[in-house]
């Protein structure tokens, strides 16, 4: 530790939420702006927000980790125009609750309420219906970031527009995000969530497209071989009557794993059977806004059940024109390789694929697999990547810890040009994380 205050570093073992990556890191936890600026200009570093990414996006053994937990303050709120300015370390759940208390809503939020504003920008997260609401970048008016060489910069669509664009799905490379101004929309009282059972992924895609305008829209599917794709599409509409139930506490930053792995074949069968009986039938229910936005708050036991081996989540966005073929081929792949899949989720996308953002036009699938290091599971995930690439799929870099540099370069034929454009904002390659190193970003 340095002798000077503000430079204090602590040795910490940091781990990704999916338990795929772990590193012994030097962590700075600045509590004042001067401390945040105190690192030597040539020191490799990476900003850390909630620390809930699945891919080690906020730490690396070779980088000084700047934990922004103290920078979580609301800086300004325009009640008339629905604009809120917050520091980058503010948790998305806290920002949502603050906005809701004043009748406003941030329409794009990730599932984990402890993700921070800076993390949501760096990952360009999507919300509960990306086809309607876009991704996080569509709701950021401007931001301020700290460049180790140039100092503080303001960026927006009108000021430093290239730097502004590079911050979204820039994974911290474009600089340390200090604060951001977000555009809010009027909040509903609650949502009424309706359920439409589907027999397979092709029917699911049709139902998703039929409800593209709903504020909430996503599907759940059985991942087992003989029932693959069967599930339910849930779409939420604004409701006037709020349910009386209290929202659950936020999912913790790290979930302690159970000493055994619950999601073996029997456990997955039991989980899917319970979900099918509970949700896979027509009907509707009223849900409060916070519970609808942060469904992971009720999933603590689910994540603990992966045990110490953790899990991997593959996310691929398949263009509409190739979707039917892909759905059939994926069903065949699951039937032949019989992987253990604990969850398949589907969403509709209708945006532009900018930079490394997970966006485009098509159907996205999130496929969670326990014990990803096991050879059969790893083989399935590799085959899934080949299948998705063969159907014009794009991976979600901020979710999938199994991707390697070669796969992502095949997904983006102009990968090197995009990488160079992003690194132009960090010419000395100071911003490094487990994610950027694995993908050679």
Partner 1 sequence: MTAIVIGASSGLGRALAVELARNGKPLLLVASDARDVDALAADLVLRHGVEVRTLAVDLAGEADPGARVLAALEGLPAAEALLLVAGTSRGDDDLSLGAGAIGQLLAINLHAPLAIAHALVPRLLGTRGVIVGFGSVAAARGRGRNVVYAAAKRGLDTFFESLRQRFHPRELRVQFHRLGFLRSNLTWGMKLPLPAAAPEEVARRVVGALGRGSFARHEPRHWGLVAFVLRRLPWFLFRRLKD
Residue ranges that bind partner 1, judged by CB under 8 A: 1-6, 8-11, 27, 29-35, 70-71, 73-77, 87, 98
Distances (CA, A) of 11 to 7, 20, 35, 434: 13, 20, 18, 17
Closest CB 403 distance from partner 1, rounded Å: 33
- 320-337 vs 375-390: helix crossing angle, rounded to 10: 160
For the record, the structure tokens of 207 come out as 């139902």
Closest CB 151 distance from partner 1, rounded Å: 13
For the record, the structure tokens of 370 come out as 């326990």
- Which CB sits closer to partner 1, 6 or 392? 6
For the record, the structure tokens of 252 come out as 């913790």
- Which CB sits closer to partner 1, 87 or 124? 87
Give dist(CA 280, CA 221) in Å, integer.
9
Question: Which of these, 371, 373, 138, 166, lies nearest to 261 by C-alpha position?
Answer: 371
Contacts of 307 (CB under 8 A, 6+ apart): 257, 258, 259, 260, 261, 262, 370, 371
Closest CB 120 distance from partner 1, rounded Å: 19
- Which CB sits closer to partner 1, 75 or 374? 75
In the three-class reduction of DSSP (H, G, I as helix; E, B as strand; rest coil), residue 244 is classed as: coil
Question: Which of these, 14, 123, 10, 17, lies nearest to 61 by C-alpha position?
Answer: 14
- Which CB sits closer to partner 1, 146 or 171? 146
- Which CB sits closer to partner 1, 7 or 412? 7
Give dist(CA 368, CA 383) in Å, integer.
15
Angle at 422 between CA 75 and CA 387, to 5 degrees: 110
For the record, the structure tokens of 53 come out as 């990414």
Closest CB 5 distance from partner 1, rounded Å: 6
Closest CB 42 distance from partner 1, rounded Å: 21
Angle at 282 between CA 277 and CA 287, to 5 degrees: 85
- Which CB sits closer to partner 1, 27 or 254? 27
For the record, the structure tokens of 395 come out as 């991976």
Closest CB 294 distance from partner 1, rounded Å: 20
- Which CB sits closer to partner 1, 30 or 110? 30
Closest CB 114 distance from partner 1, rounded Å: 18
């Amino acid at each position: 530790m340095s002798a000077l205050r503000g430079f204090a570093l602590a040795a910490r073992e940091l781990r990704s939420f999916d338990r795929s990556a772990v590193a012994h890191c030097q962590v700075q936890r600045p509590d004042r702006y001067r401390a945040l600026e105190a690192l030597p200009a040539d020191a490799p570093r990476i900003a850390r927000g909630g620390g809930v990414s699945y891919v080690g996006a906020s730490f690396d053994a070779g980088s000084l980790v700047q934990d922004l937990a103290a920078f979580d303050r609301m800086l300004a709120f325009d009640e008339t125009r629905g604009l809120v300015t917050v520091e980058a370390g503010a948790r998305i759940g806290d920002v949502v609750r603050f906005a809701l208390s004043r009748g406003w809503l941030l329409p794009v939020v990730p599932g984990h309420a402890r993700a921070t504003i800076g993390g949501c920008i760096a990952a360009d997260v999507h919300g509960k219906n990306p086809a309607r609401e876009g991704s996080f970048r569509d709701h950021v008016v401007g931001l301020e970031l700290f460049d180790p060489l140039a100092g503080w910069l303001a960026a927006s669509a009108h000021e430093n527009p290239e730097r502004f664009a590079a911050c979204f799905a820039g994974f911290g490379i474009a600089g340390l995000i200090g604060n951001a101004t977000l555009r809010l929309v009027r909040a509903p009282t609650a949502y009424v969530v309706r359920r439409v059972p589907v027999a397979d992924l092709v029917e699911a895609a049709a139902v998703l497209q039929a409800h593209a305008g709903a504020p909430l829209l996503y599907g759940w599917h059985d991942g087992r071989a003989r029932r693959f794709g069967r599930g339910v599409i849930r779409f939420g509409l604004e409701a006037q009557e709020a349910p009386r139930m209290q929202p659950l506490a936020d999912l913790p930053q790290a979930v302690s794993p159970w000493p055994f792995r619950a999601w073996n074949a029997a456990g997955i069968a039991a989980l899917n059977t319970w979900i099918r009986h509970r949700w896979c039938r027509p009907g509707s229910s009223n849900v409060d806004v916070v519970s609808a936005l942060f469904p992971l708050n009720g999933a603590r036991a689910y994540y603990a059940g992966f045990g110490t081996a953790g899990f991997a989540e593959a996310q691929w966005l398949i263009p509409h024109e190739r979707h039917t073929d892909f759905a059939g081929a994926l069903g065949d792949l699951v039937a032949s390789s019989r992987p253990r899949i604990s969850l398949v989720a589907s969403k509709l996308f209708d945006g532009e694929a900018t930079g490394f953002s997970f966006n485009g036009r098509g159907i996205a699938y999130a496929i969670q697999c326990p014990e990803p290091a096991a050879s059969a599971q790893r083989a399935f995930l590799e085959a899934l990547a080949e299948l998705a690439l063969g159907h014009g799929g794009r991976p979600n870099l901020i979710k999938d810890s199994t991707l390697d540099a070669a796969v992502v370069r095949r997904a983006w034929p102009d990968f090197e040009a995009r990488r160079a454009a992003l690194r132009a904002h960090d010419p000395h390659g100071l911003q490094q994380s487990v994610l950027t190193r694995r993908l050679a970003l």
